[in-house]
A = this chain, B = another copy of it.
Amino acid sequence: MNEIKIFSPATVANVSCGFDVLGFCLETVGDEMIIRKTKEKGVKITKIIGADLPFEAEKNVAGVAALAILKAANADFGVEIEIYKNIKPGSGVGSSSASASGTVFAINELLGSPFNKQQLTAFGMKGEAIASGAEHADNVAPGIFGGFTLVKEVNPLKVVQLPTPSKLYATIIHPQIEIKTSEARSILPKVIPLNKAIKQWANVGSLVSALYDCDYDLIADSLEDFIVEPHRSQLIPHFDEVKKAMLDAGALGGGISGSGPSVFSLCKGKEVAEKVASAIKKVYQPTGIVFDVYVSKINAEGIKII
**Chain A contacts to B: CB under 8 angstroms:** 17-22, 150-153, 158, 160, 162, 188-194, 197-210, 212, 218, 221-222, 227
- A197 with B192: in contact, given A158-B221, A162-B209, A221-B158 (CB under 8 Å)? yes
When distances are taken between beta carbons in the complex, the residues of chain B under 8 Å from A193 are 190-192
Asked if A152 and B197 sit within 8 Å, CB to CB, the answer is no
Cα–Cα, bound, A17→B197 (Å): 12
Report the minimal beta-carbon distance from A236 to chain B, rounded to whole angstroms.
Answer: 20
- A192 with B194: in contact, given A21-B205, A201-B200, A202-B151 (CB under 8 Å)? yes
Given A18-B205, A160-B209: 8 more A-B contacts, CB < 8 Å: A150-B205, A158-B206, A160-B205, A160-B210, A192-B192, A197-B197, A197-B201, A205-B205
Asked if A222 and B192 sit within 8 Å, CB to CB, the answer is no
- The residue of chain B having its C-beta at the shortest distance from the C-beta of A193 within the complex is B191
- The residue of chain B having its C-beta at the shortest distance from the C-beta of A207 within the complex is B205
- The residue of chain B having its C-beta at the shortest distance from the C-beta of A194 within the complex is B192
Asked if B205 and A22 sit within 8 Å, CB to CB, the answer is yes
Report the minimal beta-carbon distance from A219 to chain B, rounded to whole angstroms.
Answer: 12
Asked if B20 and A198 sit within 8 Å, CB to CB, the answer is yes
- The residue of chain B having its C-beta at the shortest distance from the C-beta of A196 within the complex is B197
Checking B152, B162, B191, B198 against A202 with a beta-carbon cut-off of 8 angstroms, the contacting residue is B152
**Most central of A18, A201, A227 by chain B CB within 10 Å:** A201
Cα–Cα, bound, A204→B152 (Å): 9
Nearest 5 A/B pairs, CB to CB: A201-B201, A208-B208, A197-B197, A201-B204, A191-B191
Cα–Cα, bound, A203→B151 (Å): 10
Cα–Cα, bound, A66→B20 (Å): 45
When distances are taken between beta carbons in the complex, the residues of chain B under 8 Å from A198 are 19-21
Asked if B212 and A18 sit within 8 Å, CB to CB, the answer is no
When distances are taken between beta carbons in the complex, the residues of chain B under 8 Å from A189 are 194
When distances are taken between beta carbons in the complex, the residues of chain B under 8 Å from A221 are 152, 158
Checking B152, B194, B197 against A205 with a beta-carbon cut-off of 8 angstroms, the contacting residue is B152
Asked if A203 and B18 sit within 8 Å, CB to CB, the answer is no
Cα–Cα, bound, A227→B198 (Å): 10
- The residue of chain B having its C-beta at the shortest distance from the C-beta of A163 within the complex is B212
Report the minimal beta-carbon distance from A228 to chain B, rounded to whole angstroms.
Answer: 9
When distances are taken between beta carbons in the complex, the residues of chain B under 8 Å from A17 are 201
**Most central of A153, A193, A209 by chain B CB within 10 Å:** A209
Report the minimal beta-carbon distance from A158 to chain B, rounded to whole angstroms.
Answer: 7
Checking B20, B194, B202 against A153 with a beta-carbon cut-off of 8 angstroms, the contacting residue is B202
